[in-house]
Amino acid sequence: MRALFSVYSKEGLEEFCSSLKRLGVKIVATGSTWKFLKEKGIPAEKVSDFTGSQELAGGRVKTLHPKIHAGILADRSNPEHLKELDGKGIPLIDLVVVNLYPFGETIAGHPPEKEAIENIDIGGVALIRAAAKNYSSVAVVCSPEDYSPVAREMQERKGALSLKTRKALASKAFALTAHYDAVIARYFSPLREFPEKISLSFKKKQETRYGENPHQRGALYAQEFPQESGIASASQLNGKPLSFNNFLDADSAVKIALEFHEPAAVIVKHNNPCGVACAGELGKAFSLALECDEKSAFGSVIALNKKCDLETAEKIAAFFNEVVVAPAFDARALKELRGKKNLRVLKLPFRRAERGMDFRKVKGGLLLQDADSVRESSEEFSIVSKKSPGDGEMRDLEFGFRVVKNVKSNAIVLAKGLATVGIGAGQMSRVDAVELAVKKASGKARGAVLASDGFFPFRDSVDIAAKAGVSAIVAPGGSIRDKEVIQAADEHGIALVFSKRRHFRH
C-alpha cells in the first residue's frame, strides 16, 4: 500500500505516519512534509524522486504530474487501466493525505493581494478531488482530526479501509474543496452585486442543543471572513452554550445597537425589541430601555454598544435574562455578570459595514438583497404638516425611525427622550400595530413621537395616535391617501414628517 502526503499543517502528522509505517505503508511526501518526516526519523520517498521531476516555478508545481494522478485515478476494476500503468511503471496510490494552504486565515489579516494569491492551493485541491473521485479504491484524508479514526480502522482491518469510510471521507473532501473555492471566489468578487451564480462559504462553529423547537436539530455556521460585526464571531465569556433562538435574538439586538453612536441599550424578545434607549451614560440608557416593557424583558437578550460598566451590569443581573452582548466589559462588570452562572456573556467588537448583502432562505432557493444599512438623519425628513416638530421631537423622530426599521413589519414605535415607550410589532394591519404600541405605552404615549416603518394607508392610525397624545409622527410617504393623512395630522395639531424610504422587515 502506498500513501501520498502533502500537508501544510503538521498537526498530528508524526503519530499518523508512524502508525502507517507499522502497517508497512510506503510513504511519498512533498518538500516540507518530507523534511518534517525526515527530522522525525520516519522514512519517506521525496515526491520529486517518485516522479523523476523536480519542483517547478518556485514550488508552485510539485504534484501536478501524470505519474501521481494516474496512480490515484486508475480504476482498479478496469484491467486496461492496470495494464497501462504496469507497462509505464506507474505504481498505484491508495491513500492521499492533504491539507491546504490556509487561504481563509491568510486573507482574514488583509494581506497584500500577492500574498493572498500565493496562498491559493492548486496541487492540493487537484489531489483531493482526484482521490475523492476514485473513492471506490482510494482513501482521501484532508483533516488532521481524521488521522486517529483512519489509523485505528486500518489497524483493525490490517491496512484497509471500508468502502463506507472511503465514501464518507470523499464526501468530506468534496465539501472542503467547494468551501475553499467559494472563499477564493468571494475574495476576488465581494458580494455587492447579483452574479449569475453564487457560492457561499461558512464553517460550522458549534451545534446548538436543538433548533427553534426541541424536535429540530440546529447548528451555527460562521462566515469565513466577515466584513462587519456579527454574532457568529462573538467570544463567549460566561454561561452555558447559546441556543438557536439565543443566536437569532442576539443578532437582532446587535443590529439595533449598531444603529447608534451614543451609548445605547437594546432589549430583545422573540426577535423583536421590547426596549431601546440612548443616553449619556450606558446605565441610564439601560434603565430607560427596561422601563419600556419590563414584563416582556423577562428572559430577554440584551445588547450594549459601549463597554459594560459595573452599574449597568448590576442592573442586568437584577432580573432574569438569557444573553448580554457588548464590545467590552470592565473587570468588575464581568465579575458581577459571572455571578449568574447560566447567563451567556458575549464579547463582540462592534464594526459596522456601510455596504453588505442579506440572504433569506426560501424553499428551493435563496433571496438576496442589499442590506438595509441606511441610517437616515432627520435632515432628510420632509415636514408635510402645518406644525413643525421641535428640536427634541425631531431627535426622537430620528431615534424612533432607526429603531422601527429593526422591528418586524407592520411596525410602530413610540419614543420619548431617546427611549422607546411602546412598540407594536409584526401586525397584519398598520392600525393594529398603532393600537398595540399605544396599549404597550399606556399613559407614556402622551407627548411621545410615533415612527412607522411604512406609509399609512388610511388616516385612522393618525386619529388613534392623536387620541393617545402623540405629538409628532414620522412615516414614509407614498400612500394614495397621503393628503388625508396630512389633513388628519393638521386637524389634531400633530407634526408630521415624511421619510425618503420605508424600512419593512419581514
| Catalytic site residue from 10, 21, 40, 133 | 133
CATH 3.40.140.20-classified regions of the chain: 234-347, 375-499
Mean pLDDT of the chain: 92
Averaged over 322-329, what is the pLDDT?
Answer: 97
Give the burial class of 48: count Cβ atoms within 10 A of its Cβ; 0-12 exposed, 13-18 middle, 19 or more buried: middle
- State yes or no: pLDDT of 226 exceeds 70: no
Fold of 234-347: Cytidine Deaminase; domain 2 (3.40.140)
Judged by DSSP in three states, 96 sits in strand
| Catalytic site residue from 21, 270, 340, 387 | 270
Averaged over 149-163, what is the pLDDT?
Answer: 92
CATH 3.40.50.1380-classified regions of the chain: 2-188
Task: Determine whether 133 is an active site residue.
Answer: yes
Beta bridge partners of 381: none
Cα–Cα distances in angstroms (integers) from residue 81 to residues 3, 74, 283, 343, in the given order: 19, 6, 75, 62
Report the distance separating Cα 172 and Cα 166, nearest Å: 10
- State yes or no: pLDDT of 191 exceeds 70: no
pTM: 0.82
Sign of the dihedral through C-alpha 167, 168, 170, 175: positive
> What is the percent of the chain where pLDDT is above 90?
78
Task: Determine whether 172 is an active site residue.
Answer: no
- Looking at residue 187, what is its pLDDT? 83
Q: Which of 22-31, 322-331, 430-439 has the lowest mean pLDDT?
A: 22-31
Fold of 375-499: Cytidine Deaminase; domain 2 (3.40.140)
- Looking at residue 225, what is its pLDDT? 63
Report the distance separating Cα 287 and Cα 292, nearest Å: 9
Per-residue pLDDT tens digits for 351-372: 776 677 888 889 999 898 888 8
Give the burial class of 94: count Cβ atoms within 10 A of its Cβ; 0-12 exposed, 13-18 middle, 19 or more buried: buried
User: Which residues, other chains included, contact 212 with Cβ-Cβ below 8 Å and sequence gap of 6+?
Assistant: 218, 244, 245, 248
What one-letter code names the amino acid at 169? Answer: L
- Looking at residue 228, what is its pLDDT? 63
- State yes or no: pLDDT of 227 exceeds 80: no
Q: The cell 500537508 sits on which residue?
A: 7
Per-residue pLDDT tens digits for 248-275: 999 999 999 999 999 999 999 999 999 9
Q: Give, for 141, the enclosing helix (H) or strand (E).
A: strand 139-141
350 confidence band (pLDDT: 50, 70, 90): confident
Q: Which CATH architecture has domain 2-188?
A: 3-Layer(aba) Sandwich (3.40)
Per-residue pLDDT tens digits for 8-67: 999 999 999 999 999 999 999 998 999 999 999 999 999 999 988 887 787 788 888 999
